[in-house]
Amino acid sequence: MFKQVTQPHDQLMLKLVPILQEANRMLREEYQNYVDGSSFNIEKKQDDSPVTQADLRVNAYITEQLHHLEPYYPLLSEEGQFEERHHWTTCWLLDPLDGTKEFLNKRPQFTINLSLVHQGHTTFSLIAVPCESRIYMGYTSSLPWRYDTAENQWYRYEIMPLPTIDKVHLGLSHRSKNPKYQKFAEIIQHQYPVEKKEAGSAYKFCMMLEQKIDIYPRFHPTSEWDTSAGQGLLESIGGGLVDLKGRAFLYNQRQTLLNGGFIAYTNAALGQLAMQTLTTLQQHVDVSQS
């Protein structure tokens, strides 16, 4: 849970907050224009996924702002160029609009994902939720913060004694119709009641921080900028995000920027349950194929 606290003294967080406040404002404005039926430009990328004027506007703004931060680190963005990335030991990872399909389906569960990666490991994470005027952020090595921009109020995550598992809240995407997800839920149901919670994009990671989701399985590919910030935040509270063999993701270390499937969880006990469930599932179906 998050507990109201005074403003932190960390300079990186204090420099990033006004940047993300403005980026949140931009996305809310773009979203409202789209919902209202105003002229709105949507294009297709090479992989046939949509990119909108909102993606590009926020990407340009954050790119410019990060360029002026000290120390300077190169940026690996979904909407940018990254031919030289293999020479970078430290870089930012950015998705200026994670959940473009949520946005286009007029669901306000889209986010801005930003993380700092050093030698493959996420060291700092930030997920902003424009339509809730919230920013979750922090270092992987310490408990995360939440800043509510409308209230100008800071909160700090507080670890509570782990309760006995009496129900498992399972996070799923709105379009998770693959029968593997149903089978995953059925296996858990042999031990605990399951409540499914559908939500979009990295918004599910925020729900995990707010104790609304316990386990989030994903059996189809994502990109590195989709998971880095969420993984860092989950690791900071004692949870994690691992591939289907139980290994934590590393970033900017491979030729491809695509991740395979993953399992995300909020604490070690739930992680153990999730991996046991995955092992049982793998005995029935091949979850490596989306």
Domains of the chain: 2-157 (3.30.540.10), 168-282 (3.40.190.80)
The 10s digit of each residue's pLDDT in 10-59 is 999 999 999 999 999 999 999 999 999 888 999 988 777 889 999 999 99
Question: In this predicted structure, what is the pLDDT of residue 288?
Answer: 67
pLDDT above 90 for 79:
no
143 vs 233: CA distance, rounded Å: 8
pLDDT above 90 for 83:
no
Question: In this predicted structure, what is the pLDDT of residue 175?
Answer: 67
Sequential DSSP letters for 204-269: HHHHHHTTS-SEEEE-S-EEHHHHHHHHHHHHHTT-EEEETTSPBP--S-SS--EE--EEEESSHH
pLDDT above 90 for 207:
yes
Region 272-289 average pLDDT = 88
The 10s digit of each residue's pLDDT in 168-197 is 999 998 766 789 999 999 999 999 999 999
Handedness of CA 254, 100, 218, 233 (dihedral sign): positive
**Residue 238 burial (CB count, 10 A):** 15
Question: In this predicted structure, what is the pLDDT of residue 271?
Answer: 97
pTM of the model: 0.96
Report the helix count and the strand count for the chain, using DSSP H and E: 7, 17
Please tell me what DSSP assigns to residue 2.
E
Question: In this predicted structure, what is the pLDDT of residue 82?
Answer: 77
CB-neighbour burial class of residue 93 (10 A; exposed 0-12, middle 13-18, buried 19+): buried
Range in 135-139, 174-178, 206-210, 274-278 the model is least confident about = 174-178
| Residue from 24, 50, 239 nearest 111 by CA | 24
**Residue 246 burial (CB count, 10 A):** 13
20 vs 233: CA distance, rounded Å: 17
Q: Are 243 and 253 in contact (CB under 8 A)?
A: no
Please tell me what DSSP assigns to residue 130.
G
Q: Are 113 and 226 in contact (CB under 8 A)?
A: yes
CA distance to 26, 90, 232, 239, per residue, from 265 (Å) = 31, 26, 12, 5
Residue 206 makes CB contacts below 8 A (sequence gap 6+) with 111, 127, 129, 134, 136
Q: 135-140 — which CB contacts under 8 Å span 24+ positions?
A: 135/17, 135/20, 135/21, 135/24, 136/206, 136/209, 136/233, 137/13, 137/16, 138/13, 138/232, 138/233, 138/236, 139/232, 139/236, 140/232, 140/235, 140/236
14 vs 152: CA distance, rounded Å: 12
Region 69-78 average pLDDT = 94
Sheet with 168-172: strands ordered across: 194-198, 168-172, 215-218, 262-265, 240-243
Question: In this predicted structure, what is the pLDDT of residue 78?
Answer: 85
Q: What is the mean pLDDT of the chain?
A: 94
The 10s digit of each residue's pLDDT in 104-158 is 999 999 999 999 999 999 999 999 999 999 999 999 999 999 999 999 999 999 9
Amino acid (1-letter code) at residue 42 = I
